[in-house]
Amino acid sequence: MNIILRSANGLQIGQRREDGYINATAMCVAYDKDLSKWLATDNTFELVAALAKRLGVQPKSPKKGNSAWTRVSVMYPTVVVVRRGSPENGGGTWIHYKLAVPLAMWISAEFALLVSDWVEYWLATHQNSVQERTSSNLLPTANAYLESSQMLNRVIHTAIHQQTNSLRSALKALESENSLTASTHQNLAEVEAEDINLDAEELKRGRPKGKRSHPDYEQVTAYIKKDTYQEIKISLLREGQKREFSELVQELLEDWLKSRT
Q: Which of 245, 168, 177 is nearest to 211 (CA)?
A: 245
CB 38 within 8 A of CB 45: no
CB 66 within 8 A of CB 86: no
pLDDT in the model for residue 219: 52
pLDDT in the model for residue 203: 47
Domain spans in the chain, listed from the N-terminal domain onward: 3-124, 136-198, 206-261
pLDDT in the model for residue 215: 53
Q: Which of 47, 45, 46, 26 is nearest to 37 (CA)?
A: 45
pLDDT in the model for residue 63: 77
pLDDT in the model for residue 36: 95
In tens digits, the chain (261 residues) has pLDDT values of 689 999 999 999 999 999 999 999 999 999 999 999 999 999 999 999 999 999 999 999 887 767 777 899 999 999 999 998 887 788 999 999 999 999 999 999 999 999 999 999 999 997 655 455 545 555 666 566 566 666 666 666 676 767 777 777 777 777 776 665 566 555 555 545 554 454 455 545 544 444 445 454 555 555 555 455 555 555 555 555 555 555 666 666 666 666 666
pLDDT in the model for residue 234: 59
In three-state form (DSSP H/G/I as H, E/B as E, the rest C), the secondary structure along 12-60 is EEEEECCCCCEEHHHHHHHCCCCHHHHHHCHHHHHHHHHHHHHHCCCCC
pTM: 0.49
Neighbours of 186 (CB within 10 A): 10
CB 27 within 8 A of CB 115: yes
The secondary structure of 90-115 as a DSSP string is T-EEEE-HHHHHHHHHHH-HHHHHHH
Give the CA count within 13 Å in the CB-facing half-sphere of 134.
8
For residues 214 and 205, what is the distance between their CA atoms, to the nearest angstrom? 15
